[in-house]
Chain A
Amino acid sequence: MNHWYHSWVAAVRIARRDAWRFKGRSSLVLAMIALPILGVSAADLTLRSAELSTEQQMERDLGAADARVSDPGMGGVPIHQSPDGRNYMTVENFDNKPWPDGSADIRAAFPAGAKILKDTSGSGKLRTEHGLLNTVIHELDATDPMAKGLMTLGQGRFPDKAGEIAATAHFLETSGLEVGSELTARGLATEYRIVGSYELPGALKSDEVLARPGTFLAPLDKALKADGLPGTAAGSTYLVSVDGDGFTWNMVKKANAHGAVVTSRAVALAPPADSEVPLHQRDDWSDYEQSTAARTAELAAIGTVVGLAMLEICLLAGPAFAVGARRSRRQLGLVGANGGDRRHIRAIVLSGGLVIGFAAAVVGTALGLLLTFVLRPLLEDYMGQRFGSFDVRPLELLGIGLLAVLTGLLAAIVPAVTASRQTVLASLTGRRGVRRSSRVLPVVGLIATGLGIAITLFGATATDSIVIVAGGSALAELGIVALTPALVGLFGKLGGWLPLSPRLALRDAVRNRGRTPPPSPPCWPPWRARSPWRRTPPATTYSSAPPTRHGCRTVR
């Protein structure tokens, strides 16, 4: 049984072998398409790997505890909070009253029998090899089992007595100090010995020192205030561990009633339905980040950026396909002589785009994965946090790969259509078609350029929409591409004043305007192919082909 796709099988085979035969040209186009794919797939993998799962995020936030309870400083008035604890509002409306202020009785918020670990942070200026460095001072019993996972010990050990501290690796690098060094804070005479280094997996660039509870912040705050200086601005949260099912949503709501905000592992892993979240039931609550409008705007922005990137690649790779089609014109002529019609010729040239696009997808994605894997420590340093895991998303990578294939196909469209319009005889004999430039194209280009600039200016001045600005830019760019043959033609008129070499180059560019702007119908360059029809060229003959729609005729 005959099927149309069987002819595509032959077309893909020819394109695949041609791509292999002309490795240099294929590599060039492949690189053009594969490089952005490499970047995008590496970015996807990096971002996905940096995105933490709920369990990983909870480990970094809570260590081995079940919850972290904090005081929002609203005087202990009842509050409503979101399940993740990032958003909260007072239950009572304080629009026409003074906003509540002050500490809550946080201990009242702890469930009965819970184990508590105080976690205090403040800041101070520490003396380093290079001067004073504003540093986070953290007080926590890091040896407590509840603290496991909050920080990763690098060298030495965590402090286990007064006068000892550990410091983040970044602090040591910034300060010029090392494990074993002595350290003092401005305003405090006490010397602290650095006994270990650690890192915060979620904040690798954090300058922080860790001391036992009550051994650094309180004396420093006292000394600073005695000198009339601002204190350490210390604040505390509490890691809580409870028996049973963890810190449940009901426990969270009870803690909210005492004015405390809770981040709970159990709630994060199994969030309550919206109907059980009082905050989400309030009329004055809205979450922009999760709204449809926000997602639509984000998708439109991504789509526009991806579209622009594909346009740029097509404009770069298109001429390479055009040159390839011209070099293969004898072969395409043979296909035509053996019964290939226009769709078959188009299929062969398009298959070139398909094959190289596919290869670029494979190479780009594979290199993206490999580079991300190899450069993981550098990427983590750049991102300022450790990856949760090496998170490969096959569907997303497949989508990125499909973009490469689509780009290859798009870049080959114009060369494919142009090649298919050649007569079989012209392709076989290598006769040069002299084609007058389109008169419509420059006008269309001018209009598109003007319109694109207007839209871009409007988008930049009257709105904040990146989509309008990018869309206008794309239109203007396409307009300039359409205008290029006319512009090249205008430049060609300057050739008479130029010395021989640049004059020849300019005239050649003018005669072959099509290869300068890829989307325009190219004129064939002089071709050295031998005629298959006779060894000795005859006297001047005229092609049997009818005049083209541009009013030109093939002449030899």
Chain B
Amino acid sequence: MPESMPHTSHQPQQAFKSQQSQQPVLQLEELTRVHGSGATEVHALRGVNLSVFPGELVAVMGPSGSGKSTLLTIAGGLDSPTSGRVVVEGTDITTVGRKELAALRRRSIGYVFQDYNLIPALTAAENIALPRELDGVSARKARVSAVAALEEMGLGQLADRFPDEMSGGQQQRVAIARALVGDRRLVLADEPTGALDSETGESVLALLRARCDAGAAGILVTHEPRFAAWADRVVFLRDGSVVDETLRSQADSLLSGQAAAQ
């Protein structure tokens, strides 16, 4: 499959359907987030429900201010909901303490931001090894698994490069490797292609898709319909509410329409 093209196989969707019987990696239940109070009250999320299963990549789309990023921060435990539950691999992260939440981020949740994802003081391998080192694993063991992760993705040659010695696309690929190192199965990507040219963006999405096909669960926040086409499902947010949700195969026309409208 060429990297620049969204995959055309229906295998992932079939796998997705078969995974409906599995436990979701991420489950959002009646998620509400209100910022401020009184006159300054802003409803960022209003009763959002969403489940993401192993092997599934869900794209979240919507206009600016629709709550996409808030949803992602809450899903990853970087922010707390006003009400509702966030269950990651069976653990309700809204009820755990600060330390447990950090441990969950080390072991279960990976992030990929738009840019400046990597810690500049660490090499690619060290960046990937960081969550495990923070977890108390020795530097040597953590590096071995980090290099293995890089090689699995065909990025072994980047292991000893610092972020400023890598291109934007390479940095994003390393960030995806870090997001899924060790036992992590949930990757939350917020516009991971936003700072990349379209060709590089496609290749980064291809890698993310491949990791999900290998069993990870992912949420992809994007403005770009063509990037959303890599997902199994597309969720549309507006003013903090899910206004539409569709499988990728059914979303093509909707995406095209939206793209045309834009």
Binding site for B on A (CB under 8 A): 2-4, 6-7, 9-10, 13-14, 17-18, 21, 330-331, 334-342, 344, 423-425, 428, 530, 532-536, 538-539, 541-544
**Contact A341 to B99, CB < 8 A, known contacts A532-B114, A536-B64, A541-B35:** yes
B116 touches A338 (CB 8 A): no
Chain A's closest residue to B105 (CB) is: A339
Q: Which of B40, B70, B114 contacts A544 (CB 8 A)?
A: B70
How far is B105's CA from A428's CA once the two chains are assembled, in angstroms? 15
B33 at the interface (CB under 8 A from A): yes
Chain A residues with CB under 8 A of B99: 341
B1 at the interface (CB under 8 A from A): no
Chain A's closest residue to B41 (CB) is: A542
> What are the 7 closest A-B residue pairs judged by CB atoms, nearest first?
A339-B106, A2-B136, A341-B102, A17-B121, A542-B35, A532-B113, A544-B79
**Contact A542 to B42, CB < 8 A, known contacts A14-B119, A341-B98, A534-B114:** yes
Digit string of B92-121 for contact with A (CB within 8 Å is 1, else 0)?
000000110011111100110111111111
A542 touches B40 (CB 8 A): yes
Q: Which of A9, A334, A535, A539 contacts B191 (CB 8 A)?
A: A535
Digit string of B20-62 for contact with A (CB within 8 Å is 1, else 0)?
0000000000000101100010101000000000000000000
Chain B residues with CB under 8 A of A4: 136
One of B7-15, B125-133, B209-217, B247-255 contacting the partner = B125-133
B130 touches A541 (CB 8 A): no
14 A-B pairs whose Cβ atoms sit less than 8 Å apart in the complex? A7-B133, A331-B121, A338-B106, A339-B102, A339-B135, A341-B99, A341-B103, A425-B79, A532-B113, A534-B64, A535-B191, A535-B194, A542-B42, A543-B35
Chain B residues with CB under 8 A of A539: 65
Find residues 184-216 in chain B having any chain A CB closer than 8 Å to their own CB.
Answer: 190-191, 194
Chain B's closest residue to A347 (CB) is: B134
- Given A334-B118, A338-B106, A535-B191, 14 more A-B residue pairs with CB atoms under 8 Å apart are A2-B137, A10-B129, A10-B133, A14-B122, A331-B120, A335-B134, A338-B131, A341-B102, A428-B113, A530-B116, A532-B115, A542-B35, A542-B40, A544-B70
A17 touches B79 (CB 8 A): no
A343 to chain B, nearest CB (A): 8
B36 touches A542 (CB 8 A): yes
A351 to chain B, nearest CB (A): 11
B145 at the interface (CB under 8 A from A): no
B36 touches A13 (CB 8 A): no
A14 touches B121 (CB 8 A): yes
B171 at the interface (CB under 8 A from A): no
Chain A residues with CB under 8 A of B116: 330, 334, 530, 532
A552 to chain B, nearest CB (A): 13
How far is B114's CA from A367's CA once the two chains are assembled, in angstroms? 47
How far is B111's CA from A13's CA once the two chains are assembled, in angstroms? 22
B105 touches A6 (CB 8 A): no
B130 touches A425 (CB 8 A): no
B178 touches A338 (CB 8 A): yes
Q: Which of A2, A3, A17, A334 has the most CB of B within 10 A?
A: A334
A13 touches B78 (CB 8 A): no
How far is B98's CA from A340's CA once the two chains are assembled, in angstroms? 10
**Contact A6 to B178, CB < 8 A, known contacts A337-B105, A338-B105, A544-B70:** no
Chain B's closest residue to A15 (CB) is: B121
Chain B residues with CB under 8 A of A340: 102, 106, 134
B218 at the interface (CB under 8 A from A): no
Q: Which of A330, A331, A341, A543 has the most CB of B within 10 A?
A: A341
Q: Which of B102, B122, B136 contacts A13 (CB 8 A)?
A: B122
Chain B residues with CB under 8 A of A17: 121-122
Chain A residues with CB under 8 A of B98: 341-342
Chain A residues with CB under 8 A of B126: 10, 13
B113 to chain A, nearest CB (A): 4
**Contact A544 to B134, CB < 8 A, known contacts A6-B139, A337-B111:** no
